[in-house]
């Protein structure tokens, strides 16, 4: 699982573009937050108005990591590209809400600890020694509870994210009992340990560059500054890649538990069609419907591999074939867009002539129908007489 997690960021359909976009978003997330903080201090109204713009890169990254977790759940060796940005933002907002709900106990414990510390520091009137002792115990319990819940949050929150990525339901992700059942599985523990190991060990890879920058700083401050900037840029790149690997590892570790807890939400991808099917519908007969148009390749959606020449967009081996009429006779299109046969006669002219004849026939039929509305009186010649019929002798008279 570790080797697969490390290779999966480079197996995307558009690996270079995906890593580039992810690194840029990872760079702008803290930069925009820093600018937003300054705006809140300088002009609160401007800072509040800029909040959606500041949160956009973080929401896109959170939504993308949910898609990576889903890839790990279904054991896909690749990760998706940055497509359907609106969906990424919406799912990123749901992921943020999920984290906020799970952080509510930590906020309560932190508020109790901070409130007790402020009360002990101010010592309002009537704050006796017994009250000070009680506040001290309260601060100790709240602080210890905050530390313990922080560790629990680090372990349980990726499990809740895996549930949300698999089911798409915030209600299911907030079901603490089932989330804890998933977190108690051995495969999830393995995936979580791999993810935490990657997230912890990755920053140490940049320490040699920081040491080189400090050493070069004694000789050339400008060179040290350049090395430091390169180190920071590499840090954003490495941070995005490691987060993708960690998300895939937690999804892969939780796949077995999710198949047992939420069997209906686990979907399989057929190798032939690439259609996602639920576990219940996999065995059910599929209705005879028109085949849906396949989704465009992610490389085409990202717009990085589309040729500018329209002639290049035609698939190889395809050529313009002459049209074939109902008599299986090949026809060719003339310069005016009409189709003509081998004798050079225009088929469009024949079709126009046929339509005009049909119109004349229909008008004639309407006139006949109008004339036949009034019943005609039968004439004498048309009446039959049975007596005359019996007296009539067929044949030639032999006497004559």
- Using an 8 Å Cβ cutoff, are 39 and 46 in contact? yes
pTM of the complete model: 0.64
Rounded Cα distance, 254 and 178, in Å: 12
Per-residue pLDDT tens over the stretch 72-118: 998 888 888 888 899 999 999 999 999 999 999 999 999 998 988 88
The confidence score (pLDDT) of residue 360 equals 54
Residue 276 in this model has a pLDDT that exceeds 60? no
Considering only residues 283 and 107, tell me which one the structure prediction assigns the higher pLDDT. 107
What's the token pair of residue 337?
Answer: 């867009």
- DSSP secondary structure letter of residue 335: T
Per-residue pLDDT tens over the stretch 319-364: 444 444 444 444 444 444 444 444 444 444 444 554 555 555 555 5
In this structure, what are the phi and psi dihedrals at residue 70, rounded to the nearest 5 degrees? -65, -35
Helices 186-201, 176-183: inter-axial angle, 10-degree rounding: 80
Per-residue pLDDT tens over the stretch 5-46: 888 888 877 889 899 999 999 999 999 999 999 988 888 888
Rounded Cα distance, 163 and 160, in Å: 5
Per-residue pLDDT tens over the stretch 127-140: 777 878 888 888 89
Per-residue pLDDT tens over the stretch 288-325: 444 445 555 555 555 555 554 544 445 444 444 444 44
In this structure, what are the phi and psi dihedrals at residue 397, rounded to the nearest 5 degrees? -70, 125
Average the pLDDT over 204-233 and give the result. 84
Rounded Cα distance, 287 and 224, in Å: 67
The confidence score (pLDDT) of residue 382 equals 42
- Using an 8 Å Cβ cutoff, are 62 and 95 in contact? yes
Average the pLDDT over 223-236 and give the result. 88
Q: What is the residue whose two structure tokens read 């319990």?
A: 141
The confidence score (pLDDT) of residue 5 equals 84
Considering only residues 393 and 33, tell me which one the structure prediction assigns the higher pLDDT. 33
CA triple 143-146-151, angle to 5 deg: 135
Give 84-102 as a DSSP string. Answer: -HHHHHHHHHHHHHHHHHH
Per-residue pLDDT tens over the stretch 114-127: 988 888 888 777 77
For residue 324, the tally of other CB atoms under 10 A from its CB is: 10
């Amino acid at each position: 699982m570790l080797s697969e997690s490390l290779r999966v960021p480079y197996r995307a359909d558009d690996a270079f573009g995906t890593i580039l976009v992810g690194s840029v978003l990872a760079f702008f997330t803290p930069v925009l937050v820093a600018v937003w903080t300054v705006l809140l201090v300088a002009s609160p109204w401007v800072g509040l108005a800029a909040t959606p713009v500041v949160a956009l890169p973080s929401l896109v990254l959170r939504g993308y990591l949910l898609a990576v977790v889903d890839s790990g759940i279904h054991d896909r060796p690749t990760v998706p590209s940055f497509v359907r940005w609106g969906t990424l933002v919406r799912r990123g907002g749901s992921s943020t809400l999920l984290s906020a709900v799970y952080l509510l106990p930590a906020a309560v414990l932190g508020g109790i600890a901070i409130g007790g510390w402020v009360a002990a520091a101010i010592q309002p009137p009537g704050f006796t020694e017994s009250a000070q002792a009680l506040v001290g115990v309260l601060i100790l319990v709240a602080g210890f509870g905050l530390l313990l819940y922080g560790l629990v949050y680090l372990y349980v929150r990726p499990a809740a994210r895996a549930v949300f990525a698999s089911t798409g339901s915030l209600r299911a992700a907030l079901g603490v009992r089932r989330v804890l059942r998933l977190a108690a599985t051995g495969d999830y523990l393995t995936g979580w340990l791999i993810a935490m190991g990657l997230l912890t060990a990755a920053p140490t890879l940049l320490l040699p560059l920081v040491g080189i920058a400090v050493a070069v700083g004694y000789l050339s401050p400008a060179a040290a500054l350049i090395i430091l900037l390169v180190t920071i840029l590499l840090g954003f790149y490495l941070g995005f890649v490691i987060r993708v690997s960690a998300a895939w590892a937690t999804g892969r570790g939780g796949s077995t538990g999710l198949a047992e807890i939420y069997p209906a939400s686990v979907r399989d991808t057929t190798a032939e069609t690439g259609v996602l099917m639920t576990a219940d519908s996999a065995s059910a007969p599929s209705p005879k419907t028109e085949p849906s148009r396949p989704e465009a390749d992610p490389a085409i959606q990202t717009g990085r591999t589309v040729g500018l020449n329209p002639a290049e967009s035609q698939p190889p081996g395809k050529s313009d074939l002459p049209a074939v009429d109902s008599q299986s006779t090949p026809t060719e299109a003339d310069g005016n867009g009409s189709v003509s046969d081998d004798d050079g006669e225009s088929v469009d002219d024949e079709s126009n002539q046929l339509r005009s004849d049909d119109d004349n026939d229909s008008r004639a039929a309407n006139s006949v129908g109008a004339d036949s509305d009034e019943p005609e009186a039968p004439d004498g010649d048309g009446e039959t007489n049975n007596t005359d019929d019996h007296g009539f002798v067929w044949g030639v008279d032999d006497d004559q």
